[in-house]
Amino acid sequence: MGNDLILLIPQFVLVIAAMALMLLEPFTPAAHKSRMARIAVLAAAVAAFSLGSQWSDQSRTILNGMFVVDNFSIFFQWLFLVILGVSAIISMKFNEREDINRGEYYSLLLFATSGMCLMVASTDLILTFIGIEILSIATYVLAGFKRNDIRSNESSLKYFLLGSFATAFLLYGIALIYGSTGSTNYQTIRELASMQGGFQNTTFIGMGLLLVGFGFKIALVPFHSWAPDVYEGAPTPVTAFMTVGPKAAGFAALIRILVEAVPFLADEWSSILWALSILTMILGNVVAVLQTNVKRMLAYSAIAHAGYILVGIVTNSDSGFSAVLFYLVIYMIMNLIAFSVILSISGTGDARVHLNDYVGMARKAPFAAAALSISLVSLAGIPLTGGFIGKFYLFSAAIRNGYIGLAVIGVLSSVVSVFYYFRLLVYMYMKEPDETAEVPEPVSWLVQVVIVMGIIGILWLGIFPDHILTLADYSILAPK
Amino acid sequence: MEIGHILSWVTYLPALIAAVIILMPRGFDKAAKWVALLGSSAIFILSLHLVTHFDASRGSMQFEESCEWIKTAAFAISHHMGIDGISLFLVILTTFLTPLAILCSWQSINKRVKSYLVCLLTLETGMIGVFCALDLVLFYIFWEVMLIPMYFLIGVWGGERRIYAAVKFILYTMVGSLLMLVAIIYLYFAHGGTSFDLIEITRSLSSGAVLLSSREEFWLFMAFLLAFAIKVPMFPFHTWLPDAHVEAPTAGSVILAGVLLKMGTYGLLRFCLPLFPGTAIDAAPYISVLAVIGIIYGALVAMVQPDLKKLVAYSSVSHMGLVVLGIFAFNMQGMQGATVQMLNHGLSTGALFLLVGMIYDRRHTRKIADFGGLAHISPVYAAAFLVVTLSSIGLPGLNGFVGEVLVLMGSFASSKVFGSLAALGMILGAVYMLWMYQRVFLGKLENPDNSAIKDIGIREKLILLPIVLVMLWIGVYSGPFLSRMEASIQQVQDRIDDARTSEEIYRVERFRTPDLQVNK
């Protein structure tokens, strides 16, 4: 039992810090609320550090087989902690500017992160469900944190209603799987099902409903309709958080369920995800072309990227899962950088998020423009950026496993994405600004540090990706 | 003395100079121009080392260097570089044209000078890298990276419709190149997932260690062909070219016509033919038809263009069609002629764009109708233009003649119909070029706006002189050029001949590799 507790330290750190922030909030004067952010960052660092000591070659299951500590879960928890840290840092200035500088905000970020950590480490459908709920409830509130802004309210409400709807699917799926196999534990489900001869209609339908639920959470077409509105209305740092954190957590939990609980349905889920992946890549990219609001454009781009990531899962192979892990890392970096720049440029109340507001940005804010360009070029998958290596890895996994058509559709849809990513470059660099346009306030130094580190990360992963690729190779769940 | 890692130096020095320019403080535009000019000239001199130390008797790769780059469980991408007789002069052409491109924008580019120079120099790195890379992924990376500076050159410093042209340019090229990437990855796994190395893959394909089914070979060939055909550009993929040329700044047009288009035909020679000779032989008649259409169509459209730059752009379509025709003649004269013609087209069309840029700097128009009788007031300019025009239409004694005659001989040997049609295209070429010359330079000076035009100055003479000298050199004494190409082209030729004989002897359906199953 003592050993169990040691392995749970990262979770304790996050939850205790979250509760401490709640308690400290009333006693912190308004001028010093950004201390709350520092506590959140500190908690993330401590948790990440304590996770580091858990890295080993074998997986350890605790809490009666509900919670597993393996490289897969550690890899993802590190990812979430980085996302938490960056989101907290980029929120500081933003929350002051938008006058929503409250301690609960960081507390909710911490709770959301602890939910994500539970999701990836859980090996039981019930615990997975609890993780998803902790995450979702925190993000429902975060999405509506600008409570005087009607769009933020809309965002929150929409996310809540459709999210609950998705939760129902998820629960129903869990119930069906439990009903047909008699367990909610991944390993037991697998073993019992194989004793019963594998495929069963109820298990299959249960798995299908689970896919619908996860499809909502990670915004796969056709379950994506909430995403653009929610991403557009939420406070920008929250949008940044949502496009990477919950998405990565959803993918991680989904992979674990598919690989550990229902591998006997691999042919079925692989075919379903194959279709979803094509739909998601095409629709996400094509609709993004039509957007003139930059935040909304990136929302559709986030949908499209979920489609690329699915390609790796469809292959149901070591190379595919490793590609997914790598892609999620680079996707996190480039999306966080893009949103960090956008929230710095956008001005109070998202006053400048239209494409036209970016005209001449290269002159007015050269640093921001350059940083945004690099992350967009990486999102488009141009070589020498991590985005290229990520896509290269994903599509080569597809080709290796014989999904040539999927790879071709993937690359063609990413040509479409080049159009809208580069359109932003056109506005920033190629259109002449009129002199009256106001200059955005300078990016705060802390955010600058984050951005510079992110750019180094993008280029580093584009030129010397070996380390992270190998790390991803070590962290995958081997197909059962 | 051999310089170690010479290819890496030549490739990456421009990027290094670009980095220096980025670090220079604001307001040092003039100094940045000098750094770029002197630096790129030094690189040109350094690259001459390649010519002097090149062993013309060997057809294999020279100055090779290789080291592991990305090495994981699934992938081995190496930084493998090397040049042979086909790529040697294309590298030199690149290093030769870049300083001239910088010099020609000495006065015409005044906004964002540093960024402009950075784009030109990184573009140089990309182009040289494309010609040197022997690892398929490395090649692809240079091929793609180079698009970004070109995109900015057209989009930021271009003419009125620059944004449209820039976006069209990048989308067209991306479609082709991404499909090529899929083909590259497929080839890697078909080859057992061990190497992206072009030399190794070619060897195992030709020795039969790796067999592709004819269906696989067909699709792979098509994916590569599409990427290169868009770049060349072959009819009907040429529509991006006139837009990009017309809108690009002079230096951009020079580099685009001079070097970028060559990357397409170079790719055909380097990748399509050696990797997939069987399909190449089968596809040759169709590709030749497209090439001939390109030659004649390009010439006819060029004839009616009212805009000088557009005229030169369409003449490129026509001339590059000739290069493709030469390559797909599959004989020594044809391919050698095509390789020389790549060089020639780079020189003459590059020079034409430089000349058009000079007159545009003075008059801010490129309409042929606005000119007339310029020979009276700017005789040196007119003389230089005449030399370049004659070179472009293949007058004996100038460079164009050598390439054109070889290509025509080659294509005549393989098909009389294509050969004669191509010859017709050459005649049309003479018609539109000379007619244009006549309208711009001869006759009376009627438009009063033109009377104030100054003749070209020292800087402009300095730009044109080296080009004209090289034109004369190739025209009079092409031996040093041809001899260095011969052995390498012979290798491609051998590969084609092998495939032809084996095709004729066996004619069996080849089997696909067993470890690569196709699900969907």
Give residues 321 to 360 of A whose Cβ lies within 8 Å of B. 322
Question: In this structure, is residue A424 part of a structural domain?
Answer: yes
Q: What is the pLDDT of residue B505?
A: 59
Q: Check CB contact under 8 Å for A399 and B171.
A: no
Q: What is the pLDDT of residue B515?
A: 47
In chain B, % of residues over pLDDT 70: 96
pLDDT digits (tens, 9 = 90+) for B435-457: 999 888 888 877 777 777 788 88
Nearest residue on chain A to B154, alpha-carbon basis: A430
Nearest residue on chain B to A417, alpha-carbon basis: B171
Q: Is the dihedral of CA A209, A213, A214, A219 positive or negative?
A: positive
Average pLDDT, chain A: 89
Residue A13 has pLDDT above 90, yes or no: yes
In chain B, % of residues over pLDDT 90: 30
Q: What average pLDDT score do residues B409-416 get? A: 88
Report the distance separating Cα B428 and Cα A210, nearest Å.
Answer: 68
Average pLDDT, chain B: 87
Question: In this structure, is residue A6 part of a structural domain?
Answer: no
pLDDT digits (tens, 9 = 90+) for A269-306: 999 999 999 999 999 999 999 999 999 999 999 999 99
Q: What is the pLDDT of residue A379?
A: 94
Chain A contact set for B173 (CB, 8 A): none
Give residues 211 to 270 of B whose Cβ lies within 8 Å of A. none
Element (H, E) at B83: strand B76-83
Interface membership of B19 toward A (CB under 8 Å): no
Q: How far apart are the CA of B63 and the nearest CA of chain A, in angstroms?
A: 24
Q: Check CB contact under 8 Å for A399 and B170.
A: no
Query: Which one of A383, A397, A422 has the shortest CB-CB distance to B170?
Result: A422
Q: What is the pLDDT of residue B120?
A: 92
Q: Check CB contact under 8 Å for B72 and A429.
A: no
In this structure, what token pair is assigned to residue B352?
A: 């034409």
Give residues 148 to 187 of B whose Cβ lies within 8 Å of A. 148, 151-152, 155-156, 162-163, 166-167, 170-171, 174-175, 178-179, 181-182, 185-186
Chain A contact set for B179 (CB, 8 A): 408, 411-412
The owner of tokens 């809309």 is A154
Residue A102 has pLDDT above 90, yes or no: no
Q: What average pLDDT score do residues B308-335 get? A: 90
A406 confidence band (pLDDT: 50, 70, 90): very high
Of residues B370 and A321, more confidence is placed in: A321
pLDDT digits (tens, 9 = 90+) for A437-471: 677 777 888 889 999 999 999 999 999 988 888 88
Element (H, E) at B68: strand B62-71
Interface membership of A317 toward B (CB under 8 Å): no
Q: Check CB contact under 8 Å for B156 and A422.
A: no
Q: What average pLDDT score do residues A356-379 get? A: 88
- What is the C-alpha radius of gyration for chain A, rounded to an integer number of angstroms? 21
The owner of tokens 């298990």 is A203
Question: In this structure, is residue A349 part of a structural domain?
Answer: yes
Q: Check CB contact under 8 Å for B181 and A392.
A: yes
Chain B contact set for A430 (CB, 8 A): 155-156, 162-163, 166
Q: How far apart are the CA of A464 and the nearest CA of chain B, in angstroms?
A: 7
- Helix, strand or coil, per DSSP, at residue A449: helix
pLDDT digits (tens, 9 = 90+) for B172-182: 888 889 999 99
Q: What is the pLDDT of residue B62?
A: 86
Chain A contact set for B178 (CB, 8 A): 411-412, 414-415
Question: In this structure, is residue A336 part of a structural domain?
Answer: yes
Residue A134 has pLDDT above 90, yes or no: yes
A420 confidence band (pLDDT: 50, 70, 90): very high
Q: What is the pLDDT of residue B441?
A: 86
Question: In this structure, is residue A220 part of a structural domain?
Answer: no
Question: Per the omega criterion (within 30 degrees of 0), is the bond before B233 cis?
Answer: yes
> What range defines the domain where residue A419 resides?
268-480
Q: What is the pLDDT of residue B124?
A: 93
Hey, how many other C-beta atoms are within 10 angstroms of the C-beta on A80? 30
Q: Check CB contact under 8 Å for A429 and B166.
A: no
Residue B422 has pLDDT above 50, yes or no: yes
A2 confidence band (pLDDT: 50, 70, 90): low
Q: What is the pLDDT of residue B511?
A: 45
Q: What is the pLDDT of residue B512?
A: 44
Q: What is the pLDDT of residue B277?
A: 87
Whether B103 and B37 have beta carbons less than 8 Å apart is answered as yes
Hey, how many other C-beta atoms are within 10 angstroms of the C-beta on A191? 13
Query: Which one of A384, A392, A415 has the shortest CB-CB distance to B171?
Result: A415
Q: What is the pLDDT of residue B373?
A: 81
Give residues 72 to 91 of B whose Cβ lies within 8 Å of A. 72-75
Q: Check CB contact under 8 Å for A473 and B72.
A: yes
Q: What is the pLDDT of residue B295?
A: 92
Task: Sort strands A60-62 and A67-69 into parallel, antiparallel or unpaired.
Answer: antiparallel
Give residues 207 to 226 of A whose Cβ lies within 8 Å of B. none
Whether A184 and A124 have beta carbons less than 8 Å apart is answered as yes
Residue B16 has pLDDT above 80, yes or no: yes
A6 confidence band (pLDDT: 50, 70, 90): confident
Question: In this structure, is residue A362 part of a structural domain?
Answer: yes
Residue B506 has pLDDT above 60, yes or no: no
Q: How far apart are the CA of A422 and the nearest CA of chain B, in angstroms?
A: 8
Q: How far apart are the CA of B270 and the nearest CA of chain A, in angstroms?
A: 21
Q: What is the pLDDT of residue B44?
A: 93
Q: What is the pLDDT of residue B288?
A: 92
Q: Check CB contact under 8 Å for A415 and B174.
A: yes
Residue B509 has pLDDT above 60, yes or no: no
pLDDT digits (tens, 9 = 90+) for B329-376: 888 889 999 999 999 999 999 999 999 988 888 888 888 888 888 888
A313 confidence band (pLDDT: 50, 70, 90): very high
pLDDT digits (tens, 9 = 90+) for A109-120: 999 999 999 999
Question: In this structure, is residue A471 part of a structural domain?
Answer: yes
* Interface test with chain B among A322, A424, A425, by most B beta carbons within 10 Å: A425
Longest dimension (CA), chain B: 75
- Helix, strand or coil, per DSSP, at residue A225: coil
Q: What is the pLDDT of residue B377?
A: 84
Nearest residue on chain A to B220, alpha-carbon basis: A404
Q: Check CB contact under 8 Å for A419 and B517.
A: no
Residue A351 has pLDDT above 90, yes or no: no
Residue A24 has pLDDT above 80, yes or no: yes
Question: Per the omega criterion (within 30 degrees of 0), is the bond before B236 cis?
Answer: yes
Q: How far apart are the CA of B216 and the nearest CA of chain A, in angstroms?
A: 12
Question: In this structure, is residue A408 part of a structural domain?
Answer: yes
Q: What is the pLDDT of residue A86?
A: 94
A29 confidence band (pLDDT: 50, 70, 90): confident
Residue A207 has pLDDT above 70, yes or no: yes
Q: What is the pLDDT of residue B291?
A: 92
B504 confidence band (pLDDT: 50, 70, 90): low
Q: What is the pLDDT of residue B508?
A: 47
* Interface test with chain B among A415, A421, A459, A476, by most B beta carbons within 10 Å: A415
The owner of tokens 């991408």 is B77
Whether B400 and B348 have beta carbons less than 8 Å apart is answered as yes
A-B CB pairs within 8 A amount to: 108
The C-alpha torsion from A224 through A477 and A207 to A393, rounded to 10°, is 40
State the total domains in chain A: 1
Chain A contact set for B155 (CB, 8 A): 425-426, 429-430
The burial class, CB within 10 Å (0-12 / 13-18 / 19+), for A195 is exposed
A160 confidence band (pLDDT: 50, 70, 90): very high
Task: Sort strands B76-83 and A67-69 into parallel, antiparallel or unpaired.
Answer: unpaired
pLDDT digits (tens, 9 = 90+) for B46-97: 998 888 888 888 888 888 888 888 888 778 889 999 998 889 999 999 999 9
Q: What average pLDDT score do residues B120-144 get? A: 93
Q: How far apart are the CA of B179 and the nearest CA of chain A, in angstroms?
A: 7
Whether A373 and A423 have beta carbons less than 8 Å apart is answered as no
Q: Check CB contact under 8 Å for B520 and A402.
A: yes
Nearest residue on chain B to A319, alpha-carbon basis: B74
